[in-house]
Structure 1
Amino acid sequence: MTRPTDEAPLPERLARAITLGGPIPVSQFMAAANAHYYATRDPLGAAGDFTTAPEISQMFGELIGLWAADLWDRAGRPADALWVELGPGRGTLTADALRAMRAAGFVPPVHFVETSPVLRAEQAKRVADAVWHDDVEDLPSDRPLIIIANEFFDALPIRQLVRAANGWHERLVACQDVLFLPIAGKQVPDSVIPEGLRDAAPGAIIETSPASVGIMRVLAARIVAQGGALLAIDYGYQGPAIGDTLQAVRGHAFANPFDEPGERDLTAHVDFATLGLVGHASGAIASGPVDQGDLLRALGIDARAAALAQKDPRVLADRDRLVEDMGTLFKALAIRHPDWPQPAGFA
């Protein structure tokens, strides 16, 4: 029995679209692949494809919660402030953060921006009274927002431009049957390339993320209008820069990002310099980026690990993974309202 066209596997649907309409931008391929991937599974933990910092140790979420509570306290304890997490995974970070915030006297309503029905179900097990939104545009517009984006921006679609002998070209995805591969597409004007990178060697790749810029612009404008702050933590760099960072992970191992779209997690490194500039252009104050390890040390991870290790010495290995192994690759950026204080860890 033949399945209806709209129930065909994603690789078949993408192959058909490319066959009919021609190669598609990397950004479109990545968006389709990740939308299917996250909607159809819980990818976290030993049985999944990857593990994030909140799943490594309760210390991560607790310290982010204390970061938020301290900021809220020094901002005058606004009674109507909300906690918002973007792409909250299983809800582990927020659950741990709420426990720490409660001890500090901050018990905010929780709002999640999440589209995956599978992950929403997991989040509801840990934060039962959360309010869910499909898009950042749907967040409340009448009160301060304290927004956490841990490993959120890295999964947003990127655009890639590749240098050829005759100039820069949009990188597209072509296919033969269901074999997908990147190719150089239409040439783009040099004016869209940062001046210092225009003469890069053939084969060089530049990445941009219009989706990330759009979301940051909306959130920064909300923060300026409503009060609050955003903390983004991810692996990334300060651009513009040359480099192909598009990668896929499956079963805790790297994989070909163009194989089996929708069956592996696609990510790219985050350009924190661009996100900071977008926040600044919106009237917000940008701080950082700082290394994740430095942020966690400033927030007191060493003392917390020592206390927890009295009952379970394995906590010290978790601390090392967060601070040493992930400590320099992962970075943190803060965006805040001009009248809100400098967040802890960004002095």
Structure 2
Amino acid sequence: MPLKDRLVRMIEADGPMSVSMFMQTCLHDPVEGYYATRPGIGRDFLTAPEISQLFGELIGLWVVHEWEAMWRPHPFVLVEPGPGKATMMADALRAMSKTAAGRACLKSMQLYLVEPSRALRSEQVGKLAEYAPQFVSHLDELPDLAAILISNEFLDCLPARQFVRGEDKKWHERRIGAQGGQLIWGVDQESTGKLADAPEGQDAFELQTGLETFALSLATHVKNGHKLRALVIDYGPDDKVPEDTLRAYSDGRQIDPLESPGGSDLTVDVDFGALKRHALNAGLIVHGAKTQGEFLLALGAEARMQQLVQDNPDRAEEIFRRAKRLVDPADMGSRFKVMCFSSKGLQTPVGF
């Protein structure tokens, strides 16, 4: 039975479904969920590593610098949650292998990928086989070692609840219902009561409960006595709470989120303000947010672009165009934010 029909039956049996549950089911259903059937990087959407190798290479150099700033822990785990096709990690590790410090870092590294999808694991291990990647399904399964974590476009896929302010001035949860065999939008008639995370001056907002879980997982690693650097790169605001940002992408175009359950990628803007608050409450040190453009330029994006042009003069225009997309404020440069979480006692990370 198609996932859409199963969702309709679930709603008819149990009542309207939260947006969070809808996202969770559409993305992670083991039989017909998006990640089980249609890994879409390069097909439904593009991420920074697919746009330019410069992105992953700069991340690799950042990892080496921060490993040295952590006093070269041996061994340590390099972690990426949701690595997709592993393009960023492959570019990063290749860049690391080009320097003496990077090669020393690689010798101390144990590579861990947080990936529940078997289909994606197969593709990732094929690309990273020489580094013997280990797989876990959750951050809590990582070994008790010092850690450097790189999260790129991972948090935007964490399910979000949506709330709207009703005519009674109270918050009501937005839900998905069914009518005539079709999925439809709706709102709870009963108010949800007082919400601690509700923003002032807004008539709608989204709540990603997984952001707190993510921060607590990082903090648990630190509380076990291990050094930590965790770099988060994603799109979303750091000065307001996202309102109604749920989007669906299929074959490179944006579609109605209810149109193709399991056949389209679902995503929301990340609330960097909430992420920072959860991290601070958990005892982590927080750096940023910076814009992606600011961060990559601080890492030497311009110099690396010039080197790529020098090495590949016949591709100069393409290299420039792709690199510009990553740092241009009119493109990904300002829409994407970068934040870093650290254990105590470390210097400010490069780029911040």
What TM-score do you get using the length of structure 2 for normalisation?
0.91
The letter for the 1-side match of 2:38 is: R
Q: Does 1:134 align with 2:127?
A: no
Map Cα deviations across residues 148-191 of structure 1 (whole Å, 9 max, x no partner): 11000000100111111012101111012442122111311234
Q: 1:96 to 1:242 in 2, by over 3 A?
A: closer
Structure 2 SS opposite 1:341:
coil
Q: Do 1:224 and 1:338's aligned partners in 2 also have CA atoms closer than 8 Å?
A: no
Structure 2 SS opposite 1:123:
helix
Q: Which residue of structure 2 aligns with residue 4 of structure 1?
A: none
CA distance in 2, matches of 1:25, 1:239: 26
Q: 1:52 to 1:242 in 2, by over 3 A?
A: closer
Map Cα deviations across residues 108-134 of structure 1 (whole Å, 9 max, x no partner): 121000111221111011111100111
The letter for the 1-side match of 2:270 is: V
Q: Which residue of structure 2 aligns with residue 156 of structure 1?
A: 158
Q: Which residue of structure 2 aligns with residue 212 of structure 1?
A: 211
Q: Do 1:62 and 1:99's aligned partners in 2 also have CA atoms closer than 8 Å?
A: yes
What TM-score do you get using the length of structure 1 for normalisation?
0.92
CA distance in 1, matches of 2:180, 2:261: 13
The letter for the 1-side match of 2:84 is: G
Q: Does 1:345 align with 2:351?
A: yes
Q: Does 1:171 align with 2:174?
A: yes
Structure 2 SS opposite 1:328:
helix
Q: Which residue of structure 1 aligns with residue 69 of structure 2?
A: 74
CA distance in 2, matches of 1:110, 1:55: 21
User: Aligned match of 2:94 in 99, 112, 119?
Assistant: 99
CA distance in 2, matches of 1:39, 1:293: 33
* RMSD of aligned alpha carbons: 1.4
Deviation at 1:212, TM superposition (A): 2.2
Q: Do 1:49 and 1:265's aligned partners in 2 also have CA atoms closer than 8 Å?
A: yes
Q: 1:242 to 1:234 in 2, by over 3 A?
A: closer
Q: 1:148 to 1:178 in 2, by over 3 A?
A: farther
The letter for the 2-side match of 1:332 is: V
Q: Do 1:237 and 1:269's aligned partners in 2 also have CA atoms closer than 8 Å?
A: yes
Deviation at 1:195, TM superposition (A): 5.8
Deviation at 1:261, TM superposition (A): 1.0
Deviation at 1:217, TM superposition (A): 1.4
Q: Which residue of structure 2 aligns with residue 87 of structure 1?
A: 82
CA distance in 2, matches of 1:191, 1:10: 32
Q: Which moved more, 1:205-214 or 1:292-301?
A: 205-214
Q: Which residue of structure 2 aligns with residue 146 of structure 1?
A: 148
Q: Which residue of structure 2 aligns with residue 264 of structure 1?
A: 264
Structure 2 SS opposite 1:289:
strand
Map Cα deviations across residues 208-267 of structure 1 (whole Å, 9 max, x no partner): 100222122112321343211110100011254362111111111111012121111110
Q: Does 1:329 align with 2:330?
A: no
Q: Which moved more, 1:32-41 or 1:213-222?
A: 213-222
CA distance in 1, matches of 2:195, 2:250: 37
CA distance in 1, matches of 2:37, 2:90: 23
Q: Which residue of structure 2 aligns with residue 294 of structure 1?
A: 294
Q: 1:259 to 1:344 in 2, by over 3 A?
A: same
Q: Which residue of structure 2 aligns with residue 189 of structure 1?
A: 193
Deviation at 1:14, TM superposition (A): 0.9
Q: Gapped runs of 5+ residues in structure 2?
A: none
Q: Which residue of structure 2 aligns with residue 284 of structure 1?
A: 284
Q: Which residue of structure 1 aligns with residue 60 of structure 2?
A: 65
The letter for the 2-side match of 1:344 is: V
Deviation at 1:42, TM superposition (A): 2.3
Deviation at 1:81, TM superposition (A): 1.3
CA distance in 2, matches of 1:191, 1:109: 41
Q: Do 2:236 and 2:242's aligned partners in 1 also have CA atoms closer than 8 Å?
A: no
Q: 1:157 to 1:191 in 2, by over 3 A?
A: closer
Q: Which moved more, 1:265-274 or 1:177-186?
A: 177-186
Q: Do 1:224 and 1:336's aligned partners in 2 also have CA atoms closer than 8 Å?
A: no
CA distance in 1, matches of 2:220, 2:105: 24
